Amino acid sequence: MKFLSKKSTAIILAALMALPLAACGNQKGSTEATQAAVATIDEAVHSTAASTADQSGTSAKKLTEADVTTTQTIENTADGEHAITADGESANYQNVKVIKSGDSSESDKADFYGDNATIFATNGGTLNLSDIVVKSDGKHANGVFSYGEGTTVNIKDSYIETAGNCSGGLMTTGGGTMNATDLTINTSGNSSAAIRSDRGGGTVNVSGGYYTTSGTGSPVIYSTADITVSNAEMESTASQGVVVEGKNSVTLNNVNLNADNNKKNSNKSSWYQAVMIYQSMSGDAAEGTSSFTMNGGTLTNENGDIFFVNNTATDISLSGATITNNDAEGVFLRAAAAGWGSEGKNGGQVTLNAKQQTINGDMVVDDVSHLNLYLSDSSVFTGAINSSGQAGEVFVDLSGGAKWTLTSDSYITSLTCDADSIDLNGHTLYVDGKAYTAGTASTGEAIAVVSTGSGHGGGSTPPAKPDN
């Protein structure tokens, strides 16, 4: 329910008082007064609606279970079974409540191949779902699961709630496809991402809706697939907002994401972050260059760093997003070794492209990591890079009116910039060990990236400079 502001309420009351009390007398004047008052009320209501839309930033609608009209219930309580299955066939379900209890004793079978999922499509099947309520409370009881190449699930206007551990809301593996529109998903178990994929990946397209998680190790999105989310609201209250593993991707278009990563799911890293990009070496995700893209929208981090990259190469692209870190001790980007991969070869290789983007916060690149930072199209970076001294290799390229204002001494390896691109702000920028002279142009070279596997350096081809 949307409530009118005090200002809008006052306008409406004044308009109501101006209405004629009766239809007698000057009928034309009475009609004109009525029309004027109605127009005033309509404008106030629409003004409030527009204000509310502006605050949310998306047109996403949030559903409760009661908002979805259901006319029948399908339930399954057996371990390892499904409530609804489409095996090599096409099936349609609408206005159905689907309930699943019971566990899976074989975690890989459940996570990779759909055992015990509430709703399951496989072997090239197609499921069309609308106005569905899905509720599961078993362990390894994913909500809606698409497995295998040629398999497609289309779901819209539905509510999904999972309570057990290892129970995602949407799950896609083995090359399956998941298309979701205007869903509300709430998960409360551990290792239960709202939008989840696992071995074999696939393609996931999500438009609109609200997606929230509260369990440990339960980001809103866990990607071992190609996942695109548009015009949605997302929130994690214990875990990262987004995790990308291996040679996979996440794209956020006009998405509002709030992440509060405050519980550890393992002891392999001591840092908290909103977005984690890594390679676990478990075999669940192919090795290679991953990507994270954010166009517009907001990313708000409550604890730790914004981005953490470990044991993989990645391309991060940011354009016009509002990114806020509410943790004054956190950094914007940390590329560093952690507990995944081989010691000495498990840093992060980052190419960060920012267009029309504001970046606030430091960047830390350790001695087994490197960063190619491209700032263009009037992007603004306020922060320091490796303020404690030279560590990993860093190349910075400022073009198209981009500006960098230092907040501390910084150490990089190579620099390309115009004469007016850098404001030292009383600090020193060291480029390959030499102090940069304010007001001078510079031309440098990018750092080669290893496009497959983990580790640092050794590549022969620098990343291509993005189009400005």
Residue in the block written with tokens 């009351």:
13
- The tokens for 72 are 């029948």
256, 275, 441: which is closest to 350 by C-alpha?
Answer: 275
DSSP per-residue codes, 283-296 = SSS--S-EEEEEES
What is the model's pTM?
A: 0.85
- Return the DSSP state at 417: B
Distance CA 466, CA 468 (A): 6
What CA–CA distances, in Å, run from 372 to 240, 313, 355, 393, 414? Answer: 24, 11, 14, 9, 9
Locate 330 and state its tokens: 């956190």
Q: Which amino acid is at 246?
A: G
Closest-CA residue to 325 (of 287, 298, 356, 348)? 298
CB 74, CB 97: distance < 8 Å: yes
DSSP secondary structure of 217-250: T--SEEESSEEEEES-EEEESSS-SEEEESS-EE
Residue carrying the six token digits 């490796």: 386
pLDDT of residue 59: 80
Residue 451 is predicted with a pLDDT of 54
* pLDDT tens-place values along the chain, 468 residues long: 333 443 344 444 444 344 333 333 333 333 344 344 434 434 443 333 333 333 446 788 899 999 999 999 999 999 999 999 999 999 999 999 999 999 999 999 999 999 999 999 999 999 999 999 999 999 999 999 999 999 999 999 999 999 999 999 999 999 999 999 999 999 999 999 999 999 999 999 999 999 999 999 999 999 999 999 999 999 999 999 999 998 899 999 999 999 999 999 888 999 999 999 998 878 787 888 999 999 999 999 999 999 999 999 999 999 999 999 999 999 999 999 998 888 888 899 999 999 999 999 999 999 999 999 999 999 999 999 999 999 999 999 999 999 999 999 999 999 999 999 999 999 999 999 999 999 999 999 999 987 544 433 333 344 444 443
Q: Is 385 exposed, middle or buried (0-12, 13-18, 19+ CB in 10 A)?
A: buried
**What is the reported pLDDT for 57?**
66
CA pair distance 97, 110, nearest whole angstrom: 22
End-to-end CA distance of the chain: 43
Which structure tokens are listed for 256?
């509002």
Q: How much helix, strand and coil, in percent to the nearest 5, is found in the chain? A: 10, 40, 50
